[in-house]
Chain A
Amino acid sequence: MELARLTLGQLGLLLAGAWAVTLALHLLRVRRKRAVVASLQLWEQALAPRPTAQLLSRLRQLLSLLLSLCIVTLLALAFADPTRSTADGGTSVLLIDAGLSMQATDVAPSRLGLALRRAHQLVDSRNPADAMIVVQMDDAPRALCPMTRDAAELHAALGAVHPSRARTRFAPAAQLALQMLRGTLHPKLLLLSDGAFSVDAQLLQRLRASGVVLEHVRFGKRSHNLRVSALAARRYPLRPDQTEVLVEAENGGDALEHPTLQLFGDGQLLQHDTLEVPGHARVRRFYENLGGVGATLRAQLTLDGGTHDDLAADDEARAELTPVAHKHVLLVGPGNRYLEAALLLEEYLDVDQLAPAQYRSTRGYDLVIFDGVAPRELPAAPALYLAPPAGTTQPISVGAEVSRPYFDQQLRAHPLLRFVALGDVNVAHARRLRPARDDVVVASSADTPLLVTGVREGRRFVVLGFDVRDSDLPLRVAWPLLLLNVIEALSPSPTQLPSSTQQDLDARADIAPHSLPWTPPRVAHTHGSAWWTSVHESPWWLLTGAALLLLLVEWVSYQRRWIT
């Protein structure tokens, strides 16, 4: 038997002090109530000295003193926290759950804080002959020290435990512990956790079959927790400054909650909403055309008065949105104000303009626009050809001029014509285009193609058969839309811009503590007593209970006048 909290000398001092105080209190005269009687002589007769009565009286006083001394002795021993010890040490794995749910503050300072405090006590109160290893458990187990009997090393390892935002997975940690304990003497797994994870019954069975004694010290009291269970955001392809956001909130408690949801874009509040989330349910919200998101998006749940639930760590989620890619456009031509003005409408276009004579290559550009000119060779980038001169052969042949063509044939479902109406556009004259077999004539006037798209040498191209200045197209809304459609077709933006972070869908908002379905194995006490230092093994509570029982006996005996 060893004392976990006091040395023998300290215990002796404590006992001496307690006995001295008890004796002093016992010797103090009791201030008695006074009562006047007609004749004390009558009472003296009743109190006539009887040897047995005097003996009983002295015995009673002695018994009272002995009882008091017993009680203070038991309490002092309980305070000293005696533990059993044997020379034959065992092996323990101290598994500390550092997962997200252990950050809950339903117990002070937190579940993890309490578990670490308990772990330090376990290290101090263990049998010095026991070897122990500290393992942090979250989504993956990590041993924080080697198997050791050095208390300082174990304390240092406990100091290295840090909270994790990952959810706890017990199976890998248990398997690691099983490996560590295999072949050791008196293997024991000390699990300090809230038990808020799924447990594989077969794994527990394997532990039991291996003779491992699992002792679970549970932390936590309740499940008052809301979390952002999902956050997704994506930009619109054609409007990358606008974002569509999905937020999902989950209530892990039993009561209906009305949390406030706030969305922040680059730290600026974008959205403020109040949700109604029933117990153990999830609620989703979509927010469309959300502007000003920028590079980061943060969703924050708060309760009434700006307070948080027991687990604040999962009350917010963040999404990093990829920045909108700027398209580098090379405009080759003598100058076209209508074209240049239309290109200015799109803020994500970086346009460089060159005179035809200055054109060398398209390196570094996402697409090139040839306005009234045609390169001698096909450019290395996708290209838009506006009114290519007659005699052009690449990418398609351009023929003679045609007067007053009309857009009487259009592929309205074609992406180039999305939101574009060309039916009443007036064109003075155009050049006859001769597309190849695989090219697509998007719009034409009778047998004269006016808008053709296709692929040459793996590069897309679009050809418009007339100069927009020879038509009323620049005066219409269709013109910039058509131009943007062409640019998107030639240099498409990423079709998915999720740029979002989703929470772990397997995680749970329910952080209610659970006990493991563990049936302790029958331990063979080969040395006559249990070997391990158990958190329940310390008999302090037995000593305290005995003291309380003595107090109860004394009280009942006094009330019932067992001793008169």
Chain B
Amino acid sequence: MRWFPRTARSSQPVAEPGPERELFDEAFQKRLEGLALMSRRLQSAGLRAERPSKKAGSGVEFADYREYSAGDDLRHVDWNAYARSERLLLRLHEEEEDLCVYLLVDSSASMGLGSPSKLDYAKQLTAALAYVSLSHLDRVALLALADGVVSSLPAMRGKQRIFSVFAFLRPLTAQGRTDLAAAATNFVAAHKRRGVVVLVSDLYDFAGWQTAISTLRYAKFEPYVLQLVDASDEDPGLGGDIELIDAETGEARALTVTPALLQRVRAARQRHERAVAAFCAQKQVPYFALDTRVTPQDAVLRILRRGGMLG
């Protein structure tokens, strides 16, 4: 699979040479390096990294003052402030920590539709996000979901691990039914360290998508929802008397496709999209609806960046 079209030869390869070198467009790669996945909450520190945390620590960036209490390190007392106000105030500094980023890719059968398929689109999107995170020394873990966690790539750091990401994504195929609630439950149970969770899915699990997002939130993860939308979802490209087959369940339904019916299907899909958007807005979960007709590059550099997911 070719991840991104190559447009220029790099003078500084990402990592060791190999077939994966071709998977990234170098111009796109450079632009990705200037981005970072934004987290609205400073997560608990792990290893020191480039990412600031709310925890007062040994960083150099001033964060805030607080009242001195017994046992505090006197080295952090701001004596100048004491001279002006005769109060003992403790200078708080931001601790620079690494961020744990979980990229959850829906690999159910419904993701196999579209041209390019939604799964291929999700792979490219996930690879780009993984590279952004790895470039900032974040810990990146990948998980493929269907009716549970199908496969996973443990958390890792460093740009050179992008090839592991590619190796993980490449063999993913669209199969199985979607059960986001079960998958989220499995994920939460298996990952104790909190962090950012990016869910890339078409969310055609009408009964479970809300539960899945809520589960992530309740477990103190910071979820991002990227809903992939493809035109084939609402128009099979055939008219008249046809038999529709559900890609996941195999269920068949005979019906007559008319322009009015197509319009109603489009309206139903938009309702579904609006429902997800409303739920996410209510729960303060960043939500992006990405049409597969938009290239992954545009989606990353324009939509996600403009939406505040990448900074």
A46 within 8 A of B: yes
If over half of A's interface residues share one DSSP class (helix, strand or loop), that class is named, otherwise mixed; here it is mixed
Given A37-B247, A38-B233, A39-B204, 7 other A-B contacts at CB below 8 A?
A34-B244, A34-B245, A35-B242, A38-B204, A38-B247, A46-B268, A561-B258
A496 contacts across to B, CB distance below 8 A: none
Interface residues of A in 59-109 (CB under 8 A from B): none
Which among B232, B238, B268 has the greatest number of chain A C-beta atoms within 10 A? B268
- Cβ–Cβ < 8 Å partners of B243 in chain A: 32-35
| A35-B260 contact, Cβ under 8 Å, with A40-B244, A46-B265 | no
- Tell me whether B261 and A32 are in contact (CB under 8 A): no
A222 to chain B: closest CB distance in Å?
A: 47
> Whole-angstrom distance between the alpha carbons of A41 and B230 in the complex?
16
Judged by a CB distance under 8 angstroms, whether A564 is at the interface is yes
Q: Are A564 and B268 in contact, CB atoms less than 8 angstroms apart?
A: no
Top 4 closest A-B pairs, CB basis? Answer: A35-B236, A46-B264, A40-B246, A38-B110
Which single member of B245, B255, B267, B268 contacts A36 (CB below 8 Å)? B245
- Chain B residues near A36: list those with CB within 8 A: 113, 236, 244-247
Looking across the interface, which residue of chain B has its beta carbon closest to that of A34?
Answer: B243
Q: How far is the CB of B268 from chain A (nearest CB, A)?
A: 4
Indicate whether B298 reaches chain A with its CB closer than 8 angstroms.
no
User: What residues on A are CB-neighbors of B234 within 8 Å?
Assistant: 42
Would you give the 0/1 interface string for B196-210, flagging 1 where the beta carbon is closer than 8 Å to chain A? 000000101010000
In the complex, which range does the number of interface residues on chain B fall in? 35 or more
Q: How large is the interface on A (under 10, 10 to 19, 20 to 34, 35 or more residues)?
A: 10 to 19
Q: State whether A42 and B204 are in contact (beta carbons under 8 Å apart), knowing that A32-B243, A35-B244 are contacts in the complex.
A: yes
A43 sits at the interface (CB 8 A): yes
The answer to whether A42 touches B242, judged by C-beta atoms less than 8 angstroms apart, is no
B245 and A42 within 8 A (CB): no
Least Cβ distance of A30 to chain B in Å?
A: 6
* Partner-B contacts on A (CB < 8 A): 30, 32-47, 561, 564
Nearest A residue (CB) for B267: A46
Per-position 1/0 for B267-296, Cβ under 8 A of A: 111011000000000000000000000000
How far apart sit A73 and B260, CA to CA, in the bound complex (Å)? Answer: 33
Closest to B253 in A: A40
Is there an interface contact between A561 and B264, defined as CB atoms closer than 8 Å?
Answer: no
Least CB separation from B260: chain A residue: A564
Q: How far is the CA of A33 from the CA of B242 in the complex (A)?
A: 5
Is B189's CB within 8 Å of the partner chain A? no
Is B86 among interface residues, defined by CB-CB distance under 8 A?
no
Per-residue interface assignment for chain B, residues 223 to 259, with 1 indicating a CB less than 8 Å from any chain A CB and 0 otherwise: 0000000101110111011111111110111110011
A508 to B288, CA, bound (A): 92
Contact B242 A43 (CB under 8 A): no
Q: Is the CB of B245 within 8 A of A35?
A: yes
Are A42 and B244 in touch, CB under 8 angstroms? no
- Cβ contact within 8 Å between B258 and A564: yes
Query: Can you list 8 A-B pairs, Cβ within 8 angstroms, ordered by A?
Result: A34-B245, A38-B232, A40-B244, A40-B245, A41-B204, A43-B244, A43-B253, A564-B260
By a CB distance below 8 angstroms, the chain A residues around B202 are: 38
CA separation between A564 and B265, bound complex, in Å? 14
Question: A40 and B249: CB pair below 8 A?
Answer: yes
A32: nearest residue on chain B (CB-CB)? B243
Contacts of A47 in B (CB 8 A): 253, 255, 261, 264
- Assuming the A-B contacts A46-B267, A47-B261, are A39 and B241 also in contact, with contact meaning beta carbons closer than 8 angstroms in the complex? no
Contact B258 A46 (CB under 8 A): no
CB distance from B72 to the nearest CB of A (A): 57
Q: How far is the CA of A461 from the CA of B238 in the complex (A)?
A: 115
Cα–Cα distance between A561 and B245 once the two chains are bound (Å): 24
* Cβ–Cβ < 8 Å partners of B238 in chain A: 33, 35
